[in-house]
Every structure is written in C-alpha cells, then in structure tokens.
Amino acid sequence: MLDLKAQLAAAGLVSDEEIKAAEARERNKAKSKGKRRSKRKAPGKAKAGLDRGALEAAGKGERYTMVRQAVKAQRLDSSGPIPAADAVPFHFAGDGGVVGRVFVSPPAQRRLEEGSAAILAFISDHGLAHAVVPAALAREVAAVIPEWLRLLRGVTDATDADEATDASPADGEGEAAGA
C-alpha cells in the first residue's frame, strides 16, 4: 500500500513539486521546534534568586522544585553526608521542640550568629532536609511557606520570645487574682 502522498500524485491531485514543497515546510517546522526547545531553560539549572510571585502562584510540587533549586544554588553549607574537616555542629530549635543539628564551617557559623544567614527546611530529592542559606532567600521562602524557616536571628528568636511572654502573663494574672 502506498502512502497518501503517492496516492494523491497517482490520482493527479497534486504534482511532484507540491509534494516536495510540503516536505520542505515540514522539515522547517521540525527545525524551528527544535530551536525553541533548546532556547528553553534546562530543568536542572537553578537560578540564583527566587521569584516570590511565581512561588506563590505555583502548585505544591512546583514550589518544592523552585525552593530546592534555589537552595542548591545558594546554600552555604555542605550538602554531602560527610561534613568538611573544619565543620562544627550548630544546633537549632526545630518543630515541636526538637533540637536539630547541621554541620557548618566557621564562616557560616558567624553568618548564622550575626543574622546574615538562616537555616531553612526544604523538601530535597530525598525528603525533608535543612540547609544554611543567605537570609534574603530564607525570607523569600518564609513569606510563602513560613513553617520552613527554622533559624533566622531577629525572626525566629522573636517568635520564641513571644511564646514565652504569652505564657508568663497567664501566671502573673493568676497571682494577681489570688492576691
């Protein structure tokens, strides 16, 4: 059985020149589609910043991917399972009073202590993970997913202080009422 082009040519409905012109148009379309695909951003490449508007508009899976890529591009600690030789343990308060620990270099530790870096929880390729990232990135993520911010001087410590002061007035009121 012949293909459609041959059948149309045999019936005299199209000429050989018209068939060749149609085939050339198809080849040009295929080439232009390939060029458009190559101009798109490769999915594995991470961009340096994080677009908060796009993060807010994205679905859950897309958010995880966007945050993961930004963390990979900007993290200040080692992502490997074995810490560097000069790394020191740094402890922080996690969810539900759990104490978390990351191993950081002395410069990253100084940045955490002065507030120019933060510890951020995120969904890595292997599940929940923690990373030391610049404070600006942590603030962008926390604006959309606040429960992922684990430690940022002036933000998370203020929350802990607020919880402590919320508990203490109740005790003080009880004493005042009994007096």
- Return the exposure string of 46-83: e unless at least 16 CB atoms fall within 10 Å of the residue's CB, then b: beeebeeeebeebeeeebbbbbbbbbeebbbbbeeeee
What does the alpha-carbon distance between residue 16 and residue 23 come to, in Å, rounded to a whole number? 11
pLDDT at 116: 92
User: Which structure tokens are listed for 36?
Assistant: 């458009």
Nearest to 120 by CA among 137, 107, 143: 137
d(CA 107, CA 90): 12
Q: Give per-residue pLDDT as tens, 166-175.
A: 444 444 444 4
pLDDT in tens, 82-101: 888 889 999 988 777 888 88
Residue 114 CB-density burial (10 A; 0-12 exposed, 13-18 middle, 19+ buried): exposed
Residue 162 token pair: 């607020």
Q: What is the pTM of this model?
A: 0.59
Confidence category of residue 177, pLDDT binned at 50, 70, 90 = very low
User: Rounded CA gap, 159 and 177, in Å?
Assistant: 28
Determine the pLDDT at residue 175. Answer: 45
Q: Of 100, 111, 51, 126, nearest to 75 (Cα)? A: 111
90 phi/psi in degrees, rounded to 5:
-125, 120
Q: What integer is the mean pLDDT of 34-41?
A: 52
Residues in the chain: 179
Cβ–Cβ under 8 Å, residues 68 and 123: yes
